[in-house]
Amino acid sequence: MKKWMKTALAGVLGLALCLPVAAQEDALVGLPGYVDFGELSSVYGEPKVMINLGGSILRFVGGLSKDDPEAAALLEKLKGVRINVYTVDGNPDAALQKVSQVKSMLQSAKWEPIVQVNEDGEQAQIFIKLVGDNMEGLTVMAVDEEEAVFINIIGQLDPAQLSQVMDNFDIDIDDHIEIN
């Protein structure tokens, strides 16, 4: 096969593999709990962890969680989960600037800050998006000297269910947060 044909075929296959992720992202953009974190790849390269799960995948996983009804009920109501983790290798300035930009954007869009941690070289922010009495989004941004973590959970969240699921996974953040 000619070289240009192999290149074209590789390009088409690459595009086909990217479409599901892009389509999932596009489906989430207009939802109340969606947050655009912008781009840090130009500074830090590709994220070391990138997770983009749409509602259909989350419902599928929820259906498989028969042993944990709380987790299944939580996953059924979610529309998307986006996680990006970048290695900053002692140079967190761009990530800290991104946190500041996103924090301003969230505040102007009426997201509520619920956790803020500011220590030497470390920053963490947690925001929730309320629509009426429903929590429709949760955003976590954390940066230290080693990595930058950006998490966006989109969909209806019940804080009691979220707490139960976190307990089931043995996640304890109570000792490390300052509640505003």
Per-domain boundaries in the chain: 31-176
The order of strands in the sheet holding 112-119 is: 49-54, 78-87, 147-157, 134-143, 122-131, 112-119
- What pLDDT is attached to residue 172? 53
pLDDT in tens, 127-143: 999 998 889 999 999 99
Does residue 118 contact residue 103 with C-beta atoms inside 8 Å? no
Distance CA 157, CA 129 (A): 10
- Of how many residues is the chain composed? 180
Cα of first residue to Cα of last residue in the chain, in angstroms, is 63
Does residue 77 contact residue 136 with C-beta atoms inside 8 Å? no
Distance of alpha carbon 6 from the chain centroid: 36
Distance of alpha carbon 174 from the chain centroid: 20
pLDDT in tens, 134-169: 899 999 999 999 999 999 999 998 777 666 655 655
Distance CA 30, CA 138 (A): 15
The pTM (predicted TM-score) of the whole model is 0.76
Q: What is the CA radius of gyration of the chain?
A: 18
Alpha-helix runs per DSSP H in 35-176? 41-44, 55-64, 69-77, 93-108, 159-168
- pLDDT exceeds 90 at position 18: no
- What pLDDT is attached to residue 76? 81
Among all chains, which residue has been given the structure tokens 């028969």? 66
